[in-house]
C-alpha cells in the first residue's frame, strides 16, 4: 500500500446500558479488560502502523497495570490520549485531529468501537485489502436476516419493513483521515463514521462482517463476548 493504516479507538464512554459497576470497556472478559482484547487485535494486524486510544480526561485507566503492560508490548505503535469528548463523535473528531501528528491526510483510519472485543485480526486485514483502492472507503456490516418491524407510539407494529438491501453497521469503519475529519466537521448529529461520510454526499462501501463481531451493550452481552473470545483461543 502507498498509504498507511491507523486504528482509532474511542474509549471515553461510560456504557450505562450495560449495567456494569465500571465503564464497560474495563469489565474483565476471560480475566482481561475488554479494552485490552480490542486493542490487541489491531496490534496483531501487521498492516496497522499505529493505534490511538481516546480516553476521557478524567479516566485514570491509562495508568493501570493492564494499560502499561499493553503499551510495553506494542513496540511504540500504541498511544493513549486523554482527549475524549462528551459524545462518540466528538471523541473521534478529537482523535482524528491529534492523529495528524503522525498521519497524512490520505492515510487510512480504521475507527473501531472499544466495546467490540471479538473482532479478529484476519477480519481487519481482509477489510484493508478490500478497501485499500476504494475512492471512498467503507465499513463492516451484516445483511439483515430477520423480519423487521417498525413500531408506532403505542408500542404496536406500525409496519413491516422490507429487509432487502438492509444492513447492520459494525466497526471498523475505514476512511481517509482528511476526508473523514472534513465530513465530521460538516455533519450534524451522526452516530458513526459512515453517517458523516454519507452526509457529505458520498457512498461508503459495505464489506461483509461477522455475527461474532458484537458490540457489548446490554448485561447479557458480556457472557456472549466471553464465549466468542474463548472459541478463538
Domain coordinates of the chain in residue numbers?
5-133+171-202+214-231
pLDDT digits (tens, 9 = 90+) for 31-41: 999 999 999 99
CA dist 198 to 134, 195, 213, Å? 15, 5, 23
CATH of the domain spanning 5-133+171-202+214-231? 3.90.550.10
The pLDDT, as a whole number, for residue 35 is: 97
Q: Render pLDDT for 155-207 as a digit per residue (tens, 0 to 9).
A: 999 999 999 999 999 999 999 999 999 999 999 789 999 999 999 999 999 99
pTM above 0.75, yes or no: yes
Which portions of the chain are predicted below pLDDT 50? none
Res 20: pLDDT = 76
Amino acid at each position: 500500500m502507498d498509504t498507511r493504516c491507523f486504528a482509532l479507538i474511542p474509549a471515553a464512554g461510560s456504557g450505562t446500558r450495560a449495567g456494569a459497576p465500571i465503564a464497560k470497556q474495563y469489565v474483565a472478559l476471560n480475566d482481561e479488560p475488554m479494552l485490552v482484547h480490542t486493542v490487541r487485535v489491531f496490534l496483531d494486524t501487521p498492516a496497522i502502523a499505529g493505534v490511538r486510544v481516546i480516553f476521557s480526561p478524567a479516566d485514570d485507566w491509562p495508568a493501570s497495570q493492564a494499560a502499561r503492560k499493553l503499551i510495553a508490548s506494542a513496540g511504540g505503535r500504541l498511544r493513549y490520549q486523554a482527549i475524549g469528548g462528551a459524545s462518540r463523535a466528538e471523541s473521534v473528531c478529537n482523535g482524528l485531529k491529534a492523529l495528524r501528528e503522525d498521519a497524512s491526510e490520505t492515510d487510512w483510519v480504521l475507527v473501531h468501537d472499544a466495546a467490540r472485543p471479538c473482532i479478529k485480526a484476519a477480519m481487519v486485514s481482509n477489510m484493508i485489502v478490500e478497501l485499500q483502492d476504494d475512492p471512498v472507503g467503507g465499513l463492516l456490516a451484516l445483511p439483515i436476516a430477520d423480519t423487521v418491524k417498525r413500531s408506532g407510539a403505542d408500542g404496536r407494529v406500525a409496519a413491516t419493513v422490507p429487509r432487502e438491501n438492509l444492513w447492520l453497521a459494525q466497526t471498523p469503519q475505514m476512511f481517509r483521515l482528511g476526508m473523514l475529519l472534513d465530513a465530521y466537521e460538516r455533519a450534524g448529529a451522526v452516530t458513526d463514521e459512515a453517517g458523516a461520510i454519507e452526509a457529505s454526499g458520498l457512498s461508503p462501501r459495505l464489506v461483509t462482517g461477522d455475527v461474532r463481531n458484537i458490540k457489548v451493550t446490554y448485561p447479557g452481552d458480556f457472557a456472549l463476548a466471553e464465549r466468542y473470545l474463548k472459541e478463538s483461543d
